[in-house]
Structure 1
Amino acid sequence: MVAIDLLPGIDISITVAGQALTEHEDHEEEQQDRTTTRYIEAVSGQIFEVRITAQKGFRSGGDVLSFRIHVDGSKAIDIPALRNSACSFDSYVHISQGCRQNKSEVRRYCFATLETASDGRNLAAKSPQLNDLGSIVVTVHQKYMTGVCKPDYGSKKPSTIGIVAEKALKGKALSHSVDFTAPVACKFGESVTAKAVPGLPDPYATIVFRYRSLEILKSMSIIPRTPTPPPLEEREYETSNRDDFLELQRQLKEMKEKHRVPNVKVKRERTDENQRPRKVARPSRHSTQLELDEEGGVRESVTPTVAEREIIDLD
């Protein structure tokens, strides 16, 4: 929630589901005069609102405070007005939901992923609008009310940035744009006419909400990067949980598998130097053998017949 120093008692915030988005500052960014800038996280498809709060007893420089809400460099989407009398006895809250279509319907604000193209489809007429792409700007004006008027509602969906050429975004850390939902029911609100308070700056104050994805906010150092946790083997036992131990066990098993020596059987090659005795067939009686002579010839030999043993009888 941005508290406007120039207007004590006035706070402006971007809310999602009734909760204000966390705001971050870029302390190295130079602020323009009478301007406050904050960064918020955008999530695609999220519907958001602009919440304006006036504390009890707030008094403006005139009798009405006018707010003009712009998204992505557009014309004013909504122009709520706050009368001094509205917060005389209690605090006052106005919620801008989006672009009013008629007295009973509104197209609500929502974040959308920024579409880019590399084929030059960027519309030249929208090029100046790129300077404010990724921002929600609320300007505050000190006014005197001059009367009540009939609301001027738009009959069509408000213009959006559409597809942007990649080269047009060179050097710009952008991730989202603002889109609008289909019409939904809303409450009727009155409209007034007013004129600026002479002698006061107009606008009196400007609040800029720059919306980015979480990744880009971290890359810009708007949000601190998530620190890398120490390796499991270096963590303190007291700070480790069951999942840590299971992961460590898995890593150890993986390491053992990686360094395990495979069981390989080596088959010995048989060579002539092998001194192992070989089985030699014995020649049988009357068997024929082939022998190699010194000249490489072959000759046939027959195993000699074993003489029969003589039996002698002794008297």
Structure 2
Amino acid sequence: MDALEFVLSGTISRLTGRGRGELSIKLHGPHIDCVLPEEAFAEAVLHIPPLGKTLTIRRTVKAPTTPEITPDTAEMRKILAYLEGHPEFALSRREITSYVLAEPGARSKEVQELLKLDRINALRLRFQKIARDAMAAGKTAGQARKAADDAFSRALSLSTTTPTVILSAVNSQRAALGLGQLQEICADTAVNAGVGIVGGQPTMPVNKAVAENDLRALRDAMDARASHEFSAARNEALTKLRRLEADASLLNAVIRDDFLKVALDLFDGEHCPACDIPHTPEALVDHCRKACKAR
């Protein structure tokens, strides 16, 4: 049994693992007649029915991990690797007794290790983690997609987001901007293609917040101009302007009054802003009054 296990897997179970003490394959694997490790070997000839071929395996105790196989092909190496990974056929009576007498929890773990189920369990835990991470990522992506759909629907005032409805709404907006029509909406379609290009040159981006405030102010101004109060004030202003046009003297008085206001605003406290003659503020006011009376 030891020879069969060694030639197929490169190890001897009863000389490895817990409780083996000072035992080792190198020192205790060779037969009593083959003390030197390089002289101690095991050889097996295997027949492989599915392939209809024969495989010869030879291992020495000195190099248990590098067997000699005939024929040495990739196909035969693959078969040997499979055999090395499944040593569960070799159990001594002592090992069987150990499994029987082990505690339930420890026995389960040891049997899993024997049948290589511990690796399967590790893979299962990894796959479970991958599945949980994928579900979390999928949930996050779904929420992001729903938020994007809602924002897109609000931007285009859509109740449904079918391709036909989206294409019609996008082309309507593009027509308002003087852009060409799109023929279809795909996953990689840029609905804003051409925006920001005038005469083949890029334009400066528009601050949407400022533009929105300007549009709101424009709407308020247009609403105010359409109100009854604005119309009444406008008619009153027109009536007063017609009176000024009809009375030349009154119009001249208004012009003089405006002239005097501008002159006083430009007066530096020392010189007349019109003739640059030195004047005190009182003298300038008196001079203006005399000039008005002379007219």
TM-score, structure 1 normalization: 0.22
- Structure number with the higher strand fraction is 1
TM-score, structure 2 normalization: 0.23
- Structure number with the higher helix fraction is 2
Of structures 1 and 2, the one scoring higher in RCO (CA 8 A, sep 6+) is: 1
